[in-house]
Amino acid sequence: MATLSSAQASKKIEDLKKKIADADYKYYVLAEPDIDDYKYDLMMKELEALEKDFPQFKSDDSPTNRVSGEPTKSFKVVFHQAPMLSLANTYNEEELYEFDKRIKSILPGEKFEYVCELKFDGLAVSLIYENGKLKSGATRGDGEKGDDITQNIKTIRSIPLSTTHSKIKYFEARGEVFFRKEDFLKINEEQELKGEKTFANARNTAAGTLKQKDSKAVAERPLQFFAYYLRTDDVKLASHSDNLKLLKDLRLPVNDKWVKVSSIEEAKKYCDKIEETRDDLPYEIDGVVIKVNSLSQQDELGAVSKSPRWAVAYKFKAKQQITKIKSISLQVGRVGTVTPVANLEPVFLAGSTISRATLHNFDEIERKDIREGDYVKIEKGGDVIPKVVEVIKEKRPKGLPEFPHPTNCPVCNTHLEKPEGEVAYYCPNTACPAQVQGRIEHFVQRDAMEIEGLGFQIIEIFIGKGFISNYADIYDLHKRKKELLELERFGEKSITNILNGIEQSKEKPFDKVLFALGVRHIGERTAKILAKHFGSIDKLMNATQEEINEVHEIGPKISESVAKFFSDKHNLKLVERLRKAGLKFEIDKSITQKINPLFANKTFVLTGTLEKYKRDEAAKIIEDLGGKTSSSVSKKTDFVLAGSDAGSKLEKARALGVKVIDENEFEKMIG
């Protein structure tokens, strides 16, 4: 190998990359492999060796980069260049026909073609290709911004790392990441073998996998991808069906079950046919997506709040099964709520085996007259947790007694309370072990302090050993490293991981910390609102209930709960300990002070090629300074930032009299 000149090596590397990409395409996209594994492995090995000897020729799009890199600490946030919308749902024929009527009334007299596609039950991701190379991959997130999961995306073998198309230099492909049913079952079998918790369904497994910090772990699982949306300014296409064909030409995997129809009646027929055969598909779908085919009609129809007017989801009926309730047990949550749960005779339903279903509360048990020993119809809708739809009364064995309301906590035996007007029973003992565990689990979860490695089983062990009895204790764990190392089943590495995770969590912003505290009724969004309004925990603690009430979107239930939480000495002590440990109890001023009045609440549309910024960089600057970005120009647009070769958006902006700025003006605004 050393005998190769560098020009030869470069050529050989390019040649191998192309051959491997072709083999991947044939194997993973077309499912028509044309070389055997042995030959493939040889090519990979040769490429690896060459890249080692000639590192100057190793590029980002090399297949050797599919699995590489160090685990990330936390994903970077990326702003989508155009918001990632979701779809309005319809559940029956009438609602579907209403969609058709609605668009016909918006664009009267026009003819419509529809494209019908499967609605894959996975997660939406956005892929950016620049100069023919996969540049980045991001989750949908809140639609405006998601996580940069490029490294994880690269492990999906059907997603090309490079594309060759003479005209298209820059494009965004969106689509769904998911597991095949068969692969999901295998993953769960492996989880069981390892003695780890199994996943509830394929979708959640895909979500969990995509969010793994270590791409090597992602690569071990066979994630799949189907592209269903393309955005590019490099070619002008007339229809969504052309876009799908182009995606296919770009070698992205496109599911081939889509059809083009010319009436909503035909679309409905397609929905019915697919619903009948959905069980035969190798992956889960939860409906059909119907999209207006003409892109100019799509443009004219635009979007309402979070979903486009030009598309709709036709959702299938939830799948149902009949099974027997073996027993009903009571679960105690982190705020003491007692929830009845049905333990079922296991049945297979919509991709997984169900053995438990929530019964919500005792009113529900009474209303549906659910008893231990009953046969019930269960259903799995969009949510993970199946629910009991109804009791099959004809199958009820004689003499089944009603299920009694509880009087005492099933965990600590404290007498339960049922506040006026509420349906739930509560265990008032905040020291109840179930609540302690629940609060700590809530504190460490991904959306709160995100402490890696501290799973529920480990928490249980740590509580059992007396290492922690509240969440502030977590930050003293490093003092007990020696004792931790003595625990069975824990190695140096896992303990170090946990302690590192704890240390890193101190970087979490104030709103996450506030959410993590577990104040009743304070969800993620409310925590954000309160953090932004008050700016620090001290201001929030000192605010009166009325002051909290006055905050936009905050009601009396929340203000009362906040006041109650901070009037408890025990909670105040915990907060003080967390503060000493170095957690953030005020918002990061460097972020808030940056808001620029020229940008605040202004909507920008980016178009054309910018010289100095990439589009996502410009979008991020705008968002950071308090502005918003949108993909289409309307009367509500404040500025259109136009680069070279700007097309229809620029024309539209001029027609509507929207202010158009160039990069120089943009920079002046930034200051």
CB closer to ligand IVH, 313 vs 440: 313
Dihedral sign computed on CA atoms, order 350, 356, 360, 364? positive
Minimal distance in Å, beta carbon 297 to ligand IVH? Answer: 14
Q: Which of 1, 111, 3 is nearest to 51 (CA)?
A: 1
Cβ–Cβ < 8 Å for 356, 341? yes
C-alpha triplet 510, 516, 520: angle, nearest 5° = 115
Which stretches of the chain bind ligand IVH, using CB under 6 A? 85-87, 117, 119-120, 124, 140, 176, 228-229, 289, 308, 311, 313
CB closer to ligand IVH, 163 vs 298: 298
d(CA 473, CA 521): 24
CB closer to ligand IVH, 79 vs 599: 79
CB closer to ligand IVH, 311 vs 517: 311
Minimal distance in Å, beta carbon 348 to ligand IVH? Answer: 23
CB closer to ligand IVH, 83 vs 608: 83
CB closer to ligand IVH, 180 vs 579: 180
598 alpha-carbon distance from chain centroid: 32
CB closer to ligand IVH, 228 vs 666: 228
What's 543-575 look like in SS3? CCHHHHHCCCCCCHHHHHHHHHHHHCHHHHHHH
Which residues have a catalytic role annotated? 119
Taking 3-state DSSP, the helix, strand and coil percentages for the chain, each rounded to the nearest 5, stand at 40, 20, 40
d(CA 264, CA 290): 9
Cβ–Cβ < 8 Å for 575, 530? no
DSSP conformational letter for 28: I
Minimal distance in Å, beta carbon 285 to ligand IVH? Answer: 8
Instruction: Write the CA distances from 561 to 238, 338, 549, 556, 566, integer angstroms.
Output: 55, 18, 11, 8, 9
Query: Encoding tokens for residue 508?
Result: 């979490």
Query: Encoding tokens for residue 68?
Result: 């590489």
- Map residue 596 onto helix, strand or coil: coil
Minimal distance in Å, beta carbon 298 to ligand IVH? Answer: 9
Q: Which long-range contacts (CB under 8 A, 24 or more apart) does 341-347 make?
A: 342/370, 342/376, 342/388, 344/376, 344/378, 347/321, 347/322, 347/323, 347/378
Minimal distance in Å, beta carbon 490 to ligand IVH? Answer: 38
CB closer to ligand IVH, 228 vs 403: 228
d(CA 265, CA 262): 9
Cβ–Cβ < 8 Å for 116, 258? yes
Cβ–Cβ < 8 Å for 258, 285? no
Minimal distance in Å, beta carbon 115 to ligand IVH? Answer: 9
Question: Who contacts 232 (Cβ-Cβ below 8 Å, separation ≥6)?
Answer: 168, 170, 171, 172
Cβ atoms within 10 A of the Cβ of 436, count? Answer: 20
Minimal distance in Å, beta carbon 151 to ligand IVH? Answer: 21
Residue type, 105: S
Q: Which residue has the tokens 């910024």?
A: 613
Minimal distance in Å, beta carbon 260 to ligand IVH? Answer: 14
